Structure 1
Amino acid sequence: MPAALKNIFSDFLMLLFPEFCQACERTLATGEELVCTHCRLKLPYTNVHLQPPELNPLSVRFFGKVPMQHVLAYLYFNRAGRTQRLLHALKYRGVQEVGELLGSWYGHTLRESGYAQAFELIVPVPLHARKRRQRGYNQSDSFAMGLAAALDLPWSNQVLKRTQYTSSQTHKSRPERWENVAEVFQVISPGLIQNKKILLVDDVITTGATLEACGLTLLKAGCAEVNVCTIAAA
């Protein structure tokens, strides 16, 4: 099909079946993907990647608990805001492409800031097998794929396993969150992480209890260093 005819056909399909921005639900313009240009400009970027680790406000959540070299989050989480709507689409409406797109955007940002050599393997926080069956996928895998492609790094969801089904962390205090996840992760492929700088990824960082538990498990299994990267920071 000639390019001009293909473009006309694509525009015709968009008229019949318009795609909507996952952050504001407005109709996407030609060339926009999942998130409209206006929302992309208005997203609440943290820019913590521009700060030295010792001045990074997210790093404070791990002080005295687990050594983290870099603690990164792409966006701030605001209730009823754009970030929450994007995460809702990713986690509950099956739009896995949102995670991959945000991972790609943040990966390119990190690459431009010199982070491409800071990590050797990207590892997503796992879901329990039962939760994965219910949802059909792990939203952190999607984010990991986008980051990996942009940073030109390998990623694997065959490193960590969640061995126990735990209740939601949403309404728990920090001690309750830690107790809920303290011993539920296991490294199932220690050979993949030996002496490597790991970038541990998840959708949201709140108290950091889940990431702390995963980080300690990875360090005990022999990785050289743990770093954290999430889509959003609450």
Structure 2
Amino acid sequence: MTLQRGSDFISLIEYVFPPRCVFCNEILTAGVPIYICGKCAKKIGYYNNCINSLNLPGNMETYCDGMICVGRYSGGLKSSLKRFKFNSKPSYYRAFGKLLALKVQNTIHSEKIDMVVPVPLYRYKQKLRGYNQAELIAKYAAEQLKLPFAGGVLVKTSESKSQSALNRNERLINVEGLFKVIKAESISDKNILLVDDIITTGSTVNQSSKALKLAGASRIIAGVIATTRNY
């Protein structure tokens, strides 16, 4: 049974177990549309509602057609994403999925997107973590945007070294050729919102986009929560 936010049952749960801000842990009012308090929401370093380029270095071919990002990877947004990703806080997906959906709605018309696809984790890593944070964000954002969610269409075929331990040039080649598409016919000529939590060099998103493009996708816009880049 799927429970929609705003239902009487969800409201009752939140009344008994009040939601908390994913940034500062402050108790929030039951039924709030997003699990972020007003003070923390104002501190996010939001980016403009526009589509930015990945700006890959040198002559590297770019397969992603642009990026929509909520804000800069700093402050409360950074610490909250780290908890979500590394400290077993899967419930944070609601806040981040809502943030991304709002950013997309304020940037492009959703009818120009045919489906939402998450950047995948290698299956062993996902088993260890217990969830794929990008998948949780993507699924909730798709619900908010009323778009099809295509989880499992894009897969990661093997594990790569942790991107956080590598320099910029190493990151750019670390994930080459690690992604493939299952059931290519499902994405043929489709405009895709490709969702990930954080973009640094853009290598993971670009290689994911490459696999999607080679399988027949038409246009790919990356939707991310945060980036270390300045825009």
Instruction: String of CA shifts for 1:69-128, please: whole Å, max 9, x gaps.
Output: 3311112101xx111122123212332232232222331342244421221111101001
- Tell me the equivalent position of 2:173: 179
Runs of 4+ in 1 over 4 A off after TM superposition: 7-11, 29-33
Contact map agreement 2:47 2:70 (CA 8 A) in 1: yes
Matched, 1:61 2:62: no
> Is the CA contact (8 Å cut-off) linking 2:116 and 2:195 kept in structure 1?
yes
The separation in 2 between residues aligned to 1:150 and 1:119, in whole angstroms, is 13
Q: Computing the radius of gyration over CA atoms, which structure comes out larger, 1 or 2?
A: 1
Write the deviation string for residues 121-166 of structure 1: whole angstroms up to 9, x where unpaired. Answer: 1110100111111011100011101221121111112111111111
In 2 relative to 1, CA 66–141 (structure 1 residues): closer, same or farther, beyond 3 Å? Answer: same
Query: Which residue of the partner structure matches residue 26 of structure 1?
Result: 26
Structure-2 separation of matches of 1:10 and 1:133: 29
The 5 A counterparts of 1:115-126 are: 115-126=109-120
Alpha-carbon contact 1:70-1:228 (below 8 Å) kept: yes
Contact 1:143/1:231, CA 8 A, preserved across alignment = no
CA distance in 2, matches of 1:173, 1:202: 20
TM-score with structure 1 setting the length: 0.82
Written as runs of structure 1 = structure 2, the 5 A alignment for 1:13-162 is: 13=16, 20-32=20-32, 34-47=35-48, 49=49, 51=50, 53=51, 56=52, 58-61=53-56, 64-78=60-74, 81-162=75-156
Alpha-carbon distance, 1:8 to partner: 9.9
Contact 1:193-1:223 within 8 A present in 2 as well: yes
Classify the secondary structure of the residue corresponding to 1:202: strand
* Letter of the structure 1 residue corresponding to residue 120 of structure 2: P
State the secondary structure of the residue aligned to 2:136.
helix
- Residue correspondences, number: 216
Change (3 A) 1:96 1:8: closer
Which residue in 1 is equivalent to 2:4?
none
CA displacement 1:42-61 (0-9 Å, x = unmatched): 222112x3x3x4xx3x4323
* Residues 181-210 of structure 1 deviation map (CA, whole Å, 9 limit, x = unaligned): 001111122111111111111110000011
Deviation at 1:31, TM superposition (A): 4.6
What's the CA shift for 1:21?
2.4
Question: 2:211 matched to 1:213?
Answer: no
From the superposition, tell whether residues 8 and 115 of structure 1 become closer, same or farther in structure 2 (CA, over 3 Å).
closer
Q: Distance in 2 between matches of 1:123 and 1:182?
A: 19
C-alpha displacement at 1:66, in angstroms? 1.5
- Structure 2: stretches of 5+ with no match in the other structure: 1-10
In the superposition, the TM-score normalised over structure 2's length comes to 0.83
- Runs (5+) with no aligned partner, structure 1: 1-6
